[in-house]
Amino acid sequence: MKKLLMIFVLFITVLLIQACQNEDDVIKVIATTTPHGEILEYVRPALKELGYDLEVILTSDYYLPNPAVAAGDADANFFQHIPFLNLYNSENPNAPLYNALGVHIEPIGLYAGESITLDSIPQGATVLISNSTSDHGRALNLLAQAGLITLAEDFDILSTDINFNEVIVSNPNGLIIKADVAPDFLIAAYNNNESDLYIINSNYVLEGGYDPAEDAIFIESATDNPYVNILAILETRLNDPKILALIEVLSSPEVKVFINENYEGAVIPA
């Protein structure tokens, strides 16, 4: 009986050791589908060569990934730009995350209802933008780049507390800006013709089956663009072999080629 008990205990111990070993070989990353999840799938074989299995946890919820990584439920996330992370960190100073790597830029675009072009925007047109305050400066800057508004000289594109009436000094078309739609619902609003104009991030445009290069009436410049999409981690894990492996494969020249060939300007390597 004692011998059987010893064998049983040894069996359970071996299973637990194997489980720990397997867990040590798994990298868990929370990501949105396009292009983040697709880029991660591309680097899966490279991670395998380094001895790691990749587990991609897909989500469309922008407010889940950061707390999950902070709690240790995932090794990293890959879905957000730098201002979004900065806003999260300012609101969660006891559980901040770290920008481990800038991977790509997803230029936002200005989209319009049928028969509307950049030169034929009607007076009093409504512009639907994200309700995420980290995107507001970016949206206003896009309208300014398009020549539709003029912004104050001290305008801070990265501010998350913008009074639109104060920073817009010229609005010749009388644009009405509404910031009351979640980022992931903007493409549905576009499909349902709920506004005259829409400012939408390229990842949602791609997921919706559109081509930013063809369907937008104006695309923001990628030059000196601060909205780089990043790999976010706990700073304490910066030297973790898993994180180092992720950084190695995501920063490779092959990933840059993959992005350029598959997204044709809708996503741009950082």
CATH number at residue 198: 3.40.190.10
Domain co-membership, 114 together with 164: yes
Domain co-membership, 85 together with 26: yes
Tally the domains of the chain: 2
134: DSSP letter: G
Domain co-membership, 92 together with 116: no
How confident is residue 9, by pLDDT bands cut at 50, 70 and 90? very low
What's the whole-number average pLDDT of the chain?
91
Q: What is the average per-residue pLDDT within 191-196?
A: 96
Domain co-membership, 116 together with 190: yes
Domain co-membership, 213 together with 121: yes
Q: What is the pLDDT of residue 223?
A: 85
**In the beta sheet, which residues pair with residue 101?**
231
pLDDT in tens, 52-111: 999 999 998 999 999 999 999 999 999 999 999 999 999 999 999 999 999 999 999 999
How confident is residue 22, by pLDDT bands cut at 50, 70 and 90? low
Domain co-membership, 137 together with 204: yes
How confident is residue 13, by pLDDT bands cut at 50, 70 and 90? very low
pTM for the whole structure: 0.84
Domain co-membership, 56 together with 113: no
How confident is residue 148, by pLDDT bands cut at 50, 70 and 90? very high
Residues with Cβ within 8 Å of residue 21, at least 6 apart in sequence: none
Residue 128 has pLDDT above 60, yes or no: yes
Domain co-membership, 122 together with 53: no
Phi-psi region of 78 (alpha: psi -120 to 50; beta: other; left: phi over 0): beta
Domain co-membership, 7 together with 41: yes
Distance (Å, whole) CA 177 – CA 121 = 14
Report the Cα 52 to chain-centroid distance in Å: 24
* Domain that includes residue 256, residue range: 2-106+227-269
> Which three-class secondary structure state does DSSP give residue 114?
coil
Domain co-membership, 94 together with 138: no
Both tokens assigned to 77: 């996330």
Q: Is the dihedral of CA 106, 231, 255, 53 positive or negative?
A: negative
Tell me which residue of 75, 251, 254, 227 sits closest to 141, measured CA to CA.
Answer: 227
Residue 32 has pLDDT above 90, yes or no: yes
Report the Cα 99 to chain-centroid distance in Å: 13
Domain co-membership, 142 together with 73: no
Domain co-membership, 37 together with 74: yes
Residue 134 has pLDDT above 80, yes or no: yes
